[in-house]
Amino acid sequence: MNDLIAITASSKTLLNGWERTLLGLPTVVALILGLFTLILPRLFAQVAQFPADDIYIYQLAGAATLGYGIALGIGLFQQRWLTVRLPVIGVLVFNLASLYACGVEIIAGHAPYSVYVVLVASLLFVAISTLLLVRHQGVPRPESDLASLLMRLFLIVGAVAAGIFGLLPLFAPGFFTVFHLSITAPFIIRQAGAGSLGYAVVAVLAMRALNSQELILTTVMAGVFNGVGGLVSIPYLLAGNILLLPWIIAPVGLLVMIVCIPVLRHAMLRRAR
């Protein structure tokens, strides 16, 4: 009996083949959509049947989505559940918020087919992430080994920033017209907000974990999102046709990416011990 309990407990701490297959679905979608909206935002807008006025918002949404895809892609090669726990929670929050964005667009009565595609995908990813979280609930977490003041401060700032840029686009997309953005496709900026809200929740939960096993992929997510967001902001900063926003996102995003590099290195060294 004790051996059976030990085997069951051990299986909950590990990712098996079918779980990796399930995780592969949001991974592939996040990578494709993230790269598509980053590299070919106008073509994406045309395919999705949305106005291509605010290309900058499409690219920021792509940066947020790509962070999930890269973190989950690395997670597919990990054995332990705890390594991917926080990214999976991020996927759950992202897609729950995405369902809200889809609902608003559908109720408004002018949703193109792409909104319904996103709706189906979001329902599927909510089901996958919920299933994995329920299956692995109760898995004990290691003691904190990254509990420094700087780490806590880094996560607090990240949670606040991601929360602001998550909630405002979701519930008040028209606010961003003050930055000289058209917001003719509020669904896109809501999706960007949904992705950012997932990062905010992950940062809050990371403050409770503060162990190298769980923070590696969290740091990868943050580095990719902020770094890519900062890079795509530079041309708009130089063009000067969008007020203030690129001047915030470019330096902050690049700074966060730079900070993530030593944090990731430190976490990986801790984990290797």
Contacts of 172 (CB under 8 A, 6+ apart): none
Q: Which residues pair with 13 in a beta bridge?
A: none
Picking from 132, 59, 54, 67, the residue whose alpha carbon sits closest to that of residue 94 is: 67
Dihedral of the alpha carbons of 115, 121, 124, 126, in degrees to the nearest 10: -70
- Residue 5: predicted pLDDT: 41
**pLDDT higher than threshold 50 for residue 88:** yes
**pLDDT higher than threshold 60 for residue 2:** no
- Residue 173: predicted pLDDT: 96
pTM of the model: 0.93
Structural contact between residues 196 and 169, judged by C-beta atoms closer than 8 angstroms: yes
Q: Which residues pair with 14 in a beta bridge?
A: 80
- Residue 200: predicted pLDDT: 97
Tokens 């967001």, residue located: 229
Could you give the CA distance from residue 120 to residue 102 in angstroms, rounded to a whole number?
A: 10
Stretch among 5-14, 74-83, 233-242 having the lowest mean pLDDT: 5-14
Could you give the CA distance from residue 236 to residue 84 in angstroms, rounded to a whole number?
A: 34
Quick one: DSSP state of residue 184? S
pLDDT digits (tens, 9 = 90+) for 92-144: 999 999 999 999 999 999 899 999 999 999 999 999 999 999 999 999 888 88
Picking from 221, 169, 230, the residue whose alpha carbon sits closest to that of residue 197 is: 169
**pLDDT higher than threshold 90 for residue 199:** yes
**pLDDT higher than threshold 80 for residue 211:** yes
**pLDDT higher than threshold 90 for residue 6:** no
Instruction: Report the mean per-residue pLDDT for the chain.
Output: 92
When pLDDT is cut at 50, 70 and 90, the band that residue 7 belongs to is very low
Stretch among 48-52, 189-193, 262-266 having the lowest mean pLDDT: 262-266
Structural domain boundaries in the chain: 2-272
